[in-house]
Chains A and B, each alone.
Chain A
């Protein structure tokens, strides 16, 4: 069993829909990261969180430490949100001290 599981693997939605991507993990962590990767592109950090909830624009990330579960929400989705969203966990220290990744959620937003 993978230490970090994401669902769904693929998601296609219409522009304007509310999107939820889920991440569950089975190990102790110091922080959870949500990353975005556009096709053929680099990887960008969206959120790093160890408790509660964070919001950047239309993106919201939540984490429940007791349940070992996090969600990434996108409100009023737009075609430019189409990308792969990756959940990752760090065991200690900073975000680059050795992350363990989920396999990603491939999101397509249709106009």
Chain B
């Protein structure tokens, strides 16, 4: 099993560009979520999903869109990148009542 796979690992964007961060898990987990990690702020929840077709907003959802068309995939879309979205992004998945498994992270820089 690959676990939780995030791509890309590194990305540089120009302000205003759009892109999609990919997250895939092969453990048939129903729960998936996206977080951003910033110095001094810790990890904060962007969006989460409790199953295919169901998504909800977290603490910092502005500027990001998600969809969950399959159990395996949970992409995070940046619609118009801003320097404030420079961060490290983590995807996680879990079953009901189980520990979370995290991807290796995507380091995004918006210039």
Binding site for B on A (CB under 8 A): 30-31, 33, 35, 41-45, 47-48, 86, 88, 93-104
Contact = CB atoms under 8 A, between A and B. Distances in A.
Given A86-B42, A98-B45, A98-B48, A48 B98 contact: yes
Nearest 4 Cβ contacts at the A-B interface: A95-B100, A94-B94, A96-B94, A95-B94
Interface of B: 29-33, 35, 40-45, 48, 50, 56, 58-59, 90, 92-105
A105 to B, nearest CB: 11
B108 to A, nearest CB: 15
Given A42-B103, A44-B102, A94 B97 contact: yes
A94 B98 contact: yes
Nearest to A30: B97
A33 B105 CA distance: 19
